[in-house]
Structure 1
């Protein structure tokens, strides 16, 4: 505050100094005026005395009077000279001062006389006085002339009385001229002195007033500034973003708080002023100067993290500590977020690089070190794109940085270098961080080692183009390669050929040994095929046991016969698969470009047709394609298309072949057999369309139709009063393995109100082995349901006796291949007797198939077989015919049904 009042003190001193300066100037003028008045007084006295002395001299002629006159006249003359010289402005001050001192002017008054004549000659009254003074100059000069005349006359002798009287009259006349002017001169000088006094007083008064007003204006400005500063201080104090508390240094009590402090603490100034400052804090109480973090108590027990900075200031004579309390909640949150971000950055699996605008590395994370082996020391200050190249080995192009410069991001694959110099593929993403002026400030690069991804990609690409079991090209890849070979043959005006290979009787091997053995066998077949290939050849597997071979750069398709012959020899050699030695053969079809087709699909289809011809005619051989083969192939394709529509069109039907009790000829069961009556082709053999249905995946739908039709027919027979006989149905292996097969069977039986014991499901030995554990679960479920299972064609396949222990197995059907040689063939007889003995010991019912003669009937009956079927009894019959066989005889007591005689 004293410093703020310092301008007032200086202003007051300036006012006083100004008043003193004006007062001193007025005094100096007064002194000059007094000196001038003194000189005027000497001049007036000398003028009067000169007249008196000259009159005395005229009367007496006394030389003393003339000398007195001369002394007074000199005063008048010197004063006149000094007046004229000074008022002219060009004078010698020393000469003037000496002259004035010579005429008895006071030494102190001399500067004043000169000052007045020099500076105030034109001043009011002074100008008139000087004018009156100058009017006296001629009479004074005339008076001096009179003195010289008198002196000259006296020198000649005494003057007559008349002359004396004349001269005295002349002197009086001059005096009469001088005296009014002298009086007016004195009067004007007196009035000028009065005027000057008034001017000096007014000047001093005005200066004093002006100085006082100036001081008051300065004081007002200073006080207004002090008040404005206090208001601004209070405004800033209360509007400050931080809480401010003024604390007495000695007592520690609060002297003042701002609005933010009251808001944070929930208490007003009246409540806080005078209380100890330490009570505001839960912990971290600030003591002394410095920055201290703590918790500020708020309303309702709420705590606020704060940072307090204290500094010692002085209020008047009091030592006060100013405490600035800053809320650091946001900063702590930001620090926590930064810490979390830093920890997240350090812990993420992707490598992260932060570089400056020149692409020089500033920071990296731990994943960078783990992936590349390069630490921050190794890469700091280096451009991160120095160790990265495009996949083709070229440097990263300028277009990347241009994209980032325009505000985009870049993502792409690059090759990156490890610490040991090795390269690895990397997925790199680069983004730019910009400043407030939208200039690139930093680059952030995030990268991932995609070596595993690339390997998986190559593996997936291989899987997409190759058979997963054998590693050979799949159909799509084989067709692409075939198209390239066709283009090359066309360009070179040569030929190429496609071989279609199908293994003979592979299904039997698959059913007998299991699918696992079959898959291993296919791998061996693929290896043998690959060993026979040349530089421009390619092998493929297009499904199941079907293989293809592409032979390129031929002159004609007939050259492919050498390859086909080598393949037949290679595939005909026995193969050891696990504990089994398997002998195979193959059928091969050959189609060549340009003779047999101009595109891959046509060539493969024609080769397939040639293979089918080889398989149908001879097997273990090869055939070249001919147009007739394509006609057969088209017929099979048409049949496949029509088979899909046969179910919806109702073209399937069931016929039934009786199974009789050999002891009395009574029909005890029937076997349902599927037939297809084509509207155009007529009857189509099951041997022709059943394998096709299995190949097309339609067999399960066929099985479902058969089972539902059988259940429905059994209900109709029950409603017609027919005997409740057993009905056997052949079911494919695929249906047994279906998830809901048993549940579907149960639902159909319940819907038709048929006892499960009347349904018999037939399955071959190979199918049981192929299904493995799934078959066991199905058999257990069928047994729980009450449905029996019969082993069809028993003894003809590769089998394991373990399946005979399954609870659902209730019947064994002896294949007709063994029955046909009875009774003449000792081997067949022994096999049949062994089968019958085995079934008897296991508690199974044996059913002989294909009985055509009485001798076979008698042998089987003697051997212990109680049930059989064959042409000796009946062929497969339509429903009306079988109903006539099953309907009870009209004759009372008849228990034996009429047998249908075998066809001759």
Structure 2
């Protein structure tokens, strides 16, 4: 349609309008003009508007039909909310106004649109918020009513409708007083007046029929800030009130109960204690609430009792038993406790209740009777009855743990003379002194008992060998040989001691007593104030070991130890790849002492650790000396005992020694026996990893003689396996040894470890090992252990090819 210039100018003005404007023909609905703002709002270019039907802009067909209907009826549309399409297919809300007009004789519709999407979104948010508030109010279990100053119901929630027993939609507009009993309505009127007058919250409690309600009334302000409405919140507290009454009765009963009552939560935190608990424990309620019942723990109740208690409680059962607890003042008291779980309606344990009867007096009486029956009246020491029970228990434990039990029979040497010359009172005093000295000489874990007269028995359980028993016997002899002041006289008694061992000499109380008694008489025959083992063989052996241990102590101080070194040879090259450091003892009194003799004694005492530290330092010192002499690169393998290996300071000690003597990690190797590694595999793994972190390699000595677990062996960061000499000996002729060596070689290959075969002495053994794939060997066939200076000569000859 061609338009005159004045109309074109008019439409040009409309093009600059901030309101979206379009012009469409009435006869066919085709758009003939769209201003710039219309195109911006719809996202369409003019070419996509002009010449296209206006109806395609409507996003809702129902709205489009309604617009067409109104245009036909009234000829115009005023401020209609309509959704239009954008170019991207999304829709938006617009206010639409359409006016009829005529352009050049053509009937047209002039349309104005305003984008009101944000307003619509805000309106929707308000509607959603109102719905949410309504849902929240209706979900509340409290009754909520909004009242006018006159008491007219303005709004109610579902819970309030249930209280009034009325339809919630019918209640607004009615006076609330019509739905309340007169006894409730009147105080409620006064409450509403007070709320609106003073602007404060009013609380009250009312009964409606058989139900009780807590009522809270709050002022509600209008937009101007004036309080013109009252919000009433009503909570049905009938059940909680009944429960409170029941709990009050129960609490009264508990407070007056003669037994202590404690209630904790499921985690053991104390929530309630009654008066009897306060009286018996000395703790006030404030001092214990929130704390754990273990604050009463005395340490006197056996751990097995607590384990049984928690096992039953964890299973949801009731536990009953006796507990020895400690009061606030430090005193002990005994209780017979019944502890039961408390469950909620779902069966979940929420609390525990303990009802405890004080049985301290009964227990003290029982303990006094038991003590009188099992202890000597004069000295307070265990008597024969208790002694027999303890020996029986010690034997059972020793049987399970593979230990030994030592029983010493003591007889005072000159007691009869003292008793006859100074009287029975002095004799009794002497027995008390002897008892005290025995108690102070022995460990708490040992038992000392009095049989009667001047006879005592000592039972020892934790010892490594018979020489330790000999040491204890010497200490007892020394303690009892000290003079005793009696009635102005200094008397010397001394004692003869007979020693018997389980299981060596007997496997029951009577046999051990008989053997120890016989040994005691033999001690008296030897001159009194001494001791004697039941077996003379054992007696001599124990004394020898004791003397050897003393000599070892002196050897450390005097510097009687020396290191010898045995080369380890590569079978392919014939060259020395390293040496093993072996300790030797040159005793001025005993001559050359075999390691097989003194190492076990050192291991049974603390001496092995001191000797081990000396060996480590001497090895590092010698490596440094060889380096200064031009023999760098010699690798030394040092044997470390199990006690020294598990010492946490081992790694730090080795690091310090390497730094002090400038020894490289590649020059030092640690050798452990298989039994040492497997004694505590988890600790061994930790220690081995620490050694590996500082670059130290570790080999397993005497492999095949212990009980290695492959599951642990593969986790151990080991570098070398040393095949024990017992498997190498005659390996070329012994099929069993050959099979074992082959298996060890295969295992080492699978675990990526090297092999050293020990004790090679013959050409046949060497040939078999070489054919089997063993590369490194050690033994007399190549060299005996030798001092450091001889090894230096050996290494120089090897280098020069002599």
Q: TM-score, normalised by structure 2?
A: 0.41
Larger CA Rg, structure 1 vs 2: 1
Which of structures 1 and 2 has the larger relative contact order (alpha carbons within 8 angstroms, sep 6+)? 1
| Structure with more of its chain in strand, by fraction | 2
